A and B are shown apart, each in its own frame.
Chain A
């Protein structure tokens, strides 16, 4: 399967600042990536689908102006949490879609965001 990395693995920021999280597909060209958010002791919640060369599609209830997604190449998608607040503190995980009928997803290791 695809090897997926995320950077940074953890980040602490002040309230009101913006934070960018990178998701890289190291050995696979990914037309589609996904971003999830996971609060402590809860499940993964799909936030948005990142599409290479086009706009991301967001799940219901996810603010697209707050969570900016850019998928400018087949190996990189970025999630920017704008004007972060403590309630945005969470574990953010990306995944890469296999792009074929198998519908496999390969997950990154996650990024822990703490907003003070």
Chain B
């Protein structure tokens, strides 16, 4: 499958600060991307998605940015809360129904 994501980093932020999580993807044909949140021992949980015809999409407290030129995604979480602590994965899709996941980023929110 495609190679998605960076070597797993850990991001520590203070409660209330904004968080930015990054992801690189390698398949320029990918046209749909999703950010997932995974808590320990659980399955992934959908956060937000974006299609390749957009470069920004906003949800509640979250924003995804897509830069197709450099094949880069980012997830911005505003006013990070302790409940946001988890591992975050980006996943890419290229017009078939398979998704390939990046290596993930662990987010630690300090109270």
Measured CB to CB, the nearest residue on chain B to A112 is: B41
* Chain A 78-116 interface 0/1 with B at a Cβ cutoff of 8 Å (1 = within): 000000000000010101010000011101111010000
Name which of B56-64, B69-77, B78-86, B93-101 contacts chain A: B93-101
Query: What interface size band does chain B fall in?
Result: 20 to 34
Q: Least Cβ distance of B50 to chain A in Å? A: 12
Measured CB to CB, the nearest residue on chain A to B99 is: A105
Measured CB to CB, the nearest residue on chain A to B104 is: A43
Measured CB to CB, the nearest residue on chain A to B93 is: A103
Q: Are B8 and A110 in contact (CB under 8 A)?
A: no
CA distance A110 to B45 in the complex (A): 12
Tell me if A59 is interfacial: C-beta within 8 Å of chain B: yes
Identify the A interface with B (CB < 8 A).
1, 4, 32, 34, 36, 41-46, 49, 59-60, 91, 93, 95, 97, 103-105, 107-110, 112
Apart from A46-B100, A93-B43, list 8 A-B contacts with CB within 8 A.
A1-B46, A43-B102, A46-B99, A103-B32, A107-B44, A109-B43, A110-B42, A110-B43
Identify the B interface with A (CB < 8 A).
1, 5, 8, 32, 34, 36, 41-46, 89, 93, 97-104
A-B contact pairs, 11 of them (CB 8 A): A42-B8, A42-B103, A43-B5, A46-B98, A49-B98, A60-B1, A95-B43, A97-B97, A103-B97, A105-B99, A107-B36
